């Protein structure tokens, strides 16, 4: 796709997301707050469906995972221990002519020899050449806890959920006595004061992560590799489960020079967004870095006593990290389709039924025929009880109702017509992707849909 086309596809997706109640700009009535997004009813349900599938696969269906929901505000020492206070920074450069701010690593290149930045000949915004010196900009949102504002009251909105698990390691050990290997899992908000939030929800300042810290015995040699590879496969399997096209998912090995210094191996799972192939998820073998650092700064030994070998050691960690908002965006952009049906242009979201916010819509053919409406309501109640996310719609002509459901990605529409009530010929069920309708006996409806979903 050329640049113009990808821009317009993104515009169409952003506008559909707003029009149909998936995602709104944060604080929109005040002109917005850059890098923040609000989820409307369908976006929220889509997000929850993804979250639930993640939790089921990575926590509930396993015997070795412990869920955590840690506080967003943490003792500032947590972030001193990780190096975030001193080092969680991006190189910031400002155009002195138009005051636009950019990340130097995104618009320029680092010259390795003297660690200086080679910046473009002109500002991408105003086309002038007036760069400020490049400064390191810390991305953590700082705040104060309590009434007194001094150095001791400083806290931060967490920039990742991971540390919420490491600081609870001892609690899990003391309360559950798990045997290694085991993992801790958390879904929650993270905050980064990104210099240039962009690409819709892809780079936001407030976002949600789904992370796992999987702890293992300090491995001998390459013992950790099969487990690491298994997590990679699980991450790809999850992406497919939520409906992403396998051909759009690319696990990329990150070269040593580009990895965090404590990481022995990192794989980015990249995805073909309309604006390019970009990081969706990350998987890293973080060694014993985090537990060692939190142990060192807190003065609390974050080690493990192995009953069998009578050894004491700090476990090593493999971390699969998933951005939830990026997942929602990937699912939205991958599902977006524009085609022609019955001689008319239509837009639809080809969601997997597992994530679709509405699974089935039920229509009476005409809204002014009480017997049709009553029958449709009756069927609606049955389906709602069975499948939960079912909508009733009697607004406008049937074609419009189909289009509306197509736009929110509802896989099936059930219509009750005169043949249903007068001739007992069952209902029609329409498939979103093909637009094909078939007749089905009322008694077979639930089984048929169960099979499809």
CB of 161 to ligand ATP, least distance (A): 9
CB of 301 to ligand ATP, least distance (A): 27
* Closest CB to ligand ATP among residues 107, 382: 107
- Secondary structure in 3-state letters for 112-163: CCCCEEECCCCCCCCCCCCECCCEEEECCEEEECCCCCCHHHEEEECCCCHH
* Closest CB to ligand ATP among residues 209, 420: 209
Report which secondary-structure segment, H or E, holds 44: helix 41-55
Q: Decide if residue 207 touches ligand ATP (CB under 6 A).
A: yes
* Closest CB to ligand ATP among residues 173, 212: 212
* Closest CB to ligand ATP among residues 166, 412: 166
CB of 132 to ligand ATP, least distance (A): 22
Q: Decide if residue 410 touches ligand ATP (CB under 6 A).
A: no
Q: How far apart are CA 345 and CA 394, in angstroms?
A: 22
Q: Find the binder of ligand ATP among 323, 353, 409, 411 (CB under 6 A).
A: 323
CB of 429 to ligand ATP, least distance (A): 37
Q: Which long-range contacts (CB under 8 A, 24 or more apart) does 306-315 make?
A: 306/180, 306/217, 313/217, 313/218, 314/218, 314/288, 315/180, 315/215, 315/216, 315/217, 315/218, 315/288, 315/291
Q: Residue 50 — left, alpha, or beta (φ > 0 → left; ψ -120 to 50 → alpha)?
A: alpha
Chain-centroid distance of CA 208 in Å reads: 7
Q: Decide if residue 209 touches ligand ATP (CB under 6 A).
A: yes
Residues in the interface with ligand ATP (CB under 6 A) total 15
Q: How far apart are CA 424 and CA 179, in angstroms?
A: 61
Q: Decide if residue 326 touches ligand ATP (CB under 6 A).
A: yes
Q: Decide if residue 333 touches ligand ATP (CB under 6 A).
A: no
* Closest CB to ligand ATP among residues 203, 359: 203
Helix (H, G, I), strand (E, B) or coil at 440: strand
Q: Find the binder of ligand ATP among 161, 186, 263, 321 (CB under 6 A).
A: 321
Q: Find the binder of ligand ATP among 81, 204, 318, 360 (CB under 6 A).
A: 204
Both tokens assigned to 304: 């493990």
Q: Decide if residue 325 touches ligand ATP (CB under 6 A).
A: yes
Q: How far apart are CA 281 and CA 270, in angstroms?
A: 7
Q: Residue 246 has what DSSP assignment?
A: G
CB of 227 closer than 8 Å to CB of 318: yes
CB of 235 to ligand ATP, least distance (A): 10
Residues 275-314 close enough to bind ligand ATP by CB under 6 A: 279-282
Q: Decide if residue 429 touches ligand ATP (CB under 6 A).
A: no
Which residue in the shown chain puts its C-beta closest to ligand ATP? Answer: 323
CB of 320 to ligand ATP, least distance (A): 10
Q: Residue 95 has what DSSP assignment?
A: B
Both tokens assigned to 103: 């990340």
Residues 131-190 close enough to bind ligand ATP by CB under 6 A: 160
Q: Find the binder of ligand ATP among 194, 288, 303, 394 (CB under 6 A).
A: 194
Both tokens assigned to 358: 């509405």
Applying CB under 6 A, which residues contact ligand ATP? 160, 192, 194, 203-204, 207, 209, 279-282, 321, 323, 325-326
């Amino acid at each position: 796709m050329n640049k113009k086309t990808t821009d317009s596809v993104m515009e169409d997706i952003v506008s559909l997301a707003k029009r149909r109640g998936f995602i709104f700009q944060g604080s929109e009535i005040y002109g917005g707050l850059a890098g923040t997004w609000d989820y409307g009813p369908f976006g929220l349900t889509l997000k929850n469906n993804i979250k639930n599938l993640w939790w089921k696969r990575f926590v509930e269906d396993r015997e070795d995972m412990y869920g955590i929901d840690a506080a967003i505000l943490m003792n500032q020492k947590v972030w001193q221990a990780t190096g975030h206070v001193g080092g969680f920074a991006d190189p910031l450069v400002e155009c002195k002519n138009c005051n636009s701010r950019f990340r130097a690593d995104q618009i320029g290149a680092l010259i390795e020899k003297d660690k200086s930045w080679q910046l473009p000949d002109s500002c991408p915004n105003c086309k002038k050449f007036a760069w400020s010196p490049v400064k390191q900009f810390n991305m953590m949102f700082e705040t104060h806890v309590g009434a007194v504002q001094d150095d001791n009251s400083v806290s931060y909105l967490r920039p990742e959920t991971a540390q919420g698990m490491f600081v609870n390691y001892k609690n899990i050990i003391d309360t559950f006595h798990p045997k290694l290997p085991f993992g801790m899992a958390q879904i929650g908000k993270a905050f980064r004061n990104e210099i240039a939030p962009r690409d819709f929800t892809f780079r936001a300042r407030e976002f949600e992560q789904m992370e796992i810290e999987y702890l293992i015995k300090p491995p001998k040699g390459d013992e950790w590799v099969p487990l690491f590879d298994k997590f990679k496969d699980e991450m790809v399997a999850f992406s497919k489960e939520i409906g992403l096209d396998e051909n759009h998912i690319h696990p990329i090995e990150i070269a040593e020079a580009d990895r965090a210094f404590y990481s022995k191996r990192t794989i980015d799972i990249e995805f073909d967004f309309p604006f390019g192939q970009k990081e969706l998820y990350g998987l890293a073998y973080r060694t014993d870095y985090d537990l060692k650092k939190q142990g060192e700064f807190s003065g609390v030994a974050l080690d493990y006593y192995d009953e069998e070998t009578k050894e004491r050691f700090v476990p090593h960690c493999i971390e699969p990290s998933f951005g939830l908002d990026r997942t929602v965006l990937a699912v939205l952009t991958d599902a977006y389709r524009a085609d022609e049906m019955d001689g008319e242009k239509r837009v639809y979201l080809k969601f997997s039924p597992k994530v679709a916010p509405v699974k089935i819509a039920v229509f009476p053919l005409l809204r002014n025929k009480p017997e049709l409406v009553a029958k449709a309501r009756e069927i609606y109640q049955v389906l709602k009880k069975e499948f939960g996310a079912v909508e009733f719609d009697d607004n406008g002509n049937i074609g419009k109702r189909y289009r509306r459901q197509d736009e929110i990605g509802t896989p099936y529409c059930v219509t009750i017509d005169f043949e249903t009530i007068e001739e007992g010929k069952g209902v029609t069920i329409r498939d979103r992707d093909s637009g094909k309708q078939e007749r089905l006996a009322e008694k077979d409806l639930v089984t048929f849909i169960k099979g499809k979903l």
